[in-house]
Structure 1
């Protein structure tokens, strides 16, 4: 039920595919596709990562040996595999059996192998480099980063984790400065760089401006099966045209949450369909012009000022003036909260306050105001 998919690694300057990363996939007979993020940690705990890793290495070498030219294949090596003194022999056997040149195999190793840095670690690096394979430092900057091990570890490439790419183009982000520093470090050490997880065209332009040498992500291609890959590269060099959204959009969370929408001095009930740090999709107000300014009351003193950027009948796409932040429990919240007494003083209903708290003049204003929009309660039936 296991198979390998391959995601292209592309030269950022000319869009030419220079290699592929082998990614393990499991299509369960009953459950269907199972995420590697689920089954790989279980395989490590069950002491099965060794056999799985050996199979992936042999399979990737066999597949890559059939590819034309000098296209490389990158294979992930877990810390458990790296600690096995039989790893160099396994690599030699996989190369010999497949006939793949050693310099076309790239082993991706994470920083966690340096947690127990010892003489054995240095000897393993030397043994692998003697074979002639390439070594890539995977997920750089996300673990126990130390510049000291770059002095001795013979890496050929640094892979910049996608967590630094996400939001790098947004105002106020420091990720661009971090990526620039990693690139400068790599160039000084004569190493290549690969930025992972590029999905939007503005991210790609930014990565190119920062002089990252290689790119990997959906902006070029999703992982493909070996059969499809071989068909594409039979003619020689494979050049990919980047495609995708013009700008990076924050991850959206689907939900079904009641909110109050304030426009001028009228309040409308609505439902949030999905939300991200930068905006939300609401439903319940009819035919709102693009550019309309709304205040979204999420409750508990969470107030977000927003602008309607898309309007589709009873649904509106909002862009927040100020980005939301993580609430620490996997959700989002506003950066600050407004006192419920101030909210009530503005004439908004607030739970758990006495009925006689609301100022009479604000209530009168709210009732007397003529609403600018119609509402629909179709979402209530859903």
Structure 2
């Protein structure tokens, strides 16, 4: 147990002096690093090549008799990403929790190199971090969190404050961009991208995972978080209409009860898998699915899995999510349906494409060639560098005036 400024810090990361040539990026995230490898992980792992990244997670509760502490560990395979997880005694009121989080943050930030970039995925972490001496504040709005189940009442007010403090606002899709573009002078649309090489592995015959290998074809699969955005009724109806199809659901179940999930002999829930495992599962499917419910929680989503499925060489069947329709709906390999009958008919067309091939995949590849996480991160980095350059110029001017 280490102690810095009187605050306990438990660290599993290798200790080294801060590199003064590398800025520090504090990423405040409501999604844990090890939950699902998606936008935050793609971007932070790439920013770590030029900055020291601190990935600040939601607190974990400990016994009320224990003292608050910060556990810091190095992310597997990413040496410049450190995951900071606060541990707070249970039963504290909000004011005490925020005070404890503020002290833990201050103690950790004291040893970090400057300048600091504060990057937010959630406005809910603003109360304990708004005082941080950040040279640049970024709000990367990847979801409209206020529309999600169990959203805190104060979220919208805190988001407005965060937008007011931010130097840059990024959005995870076109619909979010339209919703935010008039609320800040520097809003930039960065839709979900894809690591093409990683998912292109699925175009080869890969060794099948044990829990999928015995499932009969045709296999129609989904991977991702199964939550209130997932249309469980659509899955139930489709499985009932086509009992000879195997519906493969890969991913953790969150915010909905296991008893709410449809159960049938041809629906298979395989649980969460790592990012590295996904191509193997995808390679064994005939069609990739996106059965999202059309409700408030999906109004602004831009699913990362759309380009991932296509990169893996699978035709896609989706409900009419707005950003999917406008970006990919014109492609031969992407089929859109709003009800169970239409969804099943689209799956039949996609199965035919999967068997017979055609030019649909070449068309998809042309679209995918224009996007990558590396390009997205590089463009974001350029915008941050502009802000940091302006701050440095302002500081130098102020010092010059003070010296006169």
TM interval, shorter chain, is: 0.3 to 0.5
Q: Pick the structure with more strand per residue.
A: 1
> What TM-score, normalized to structure 2?
0.31
Q: Pick the structure with more helix per residue.
A: 2
Larger RCO (CA within 8 A; separation ≥ 6): 2
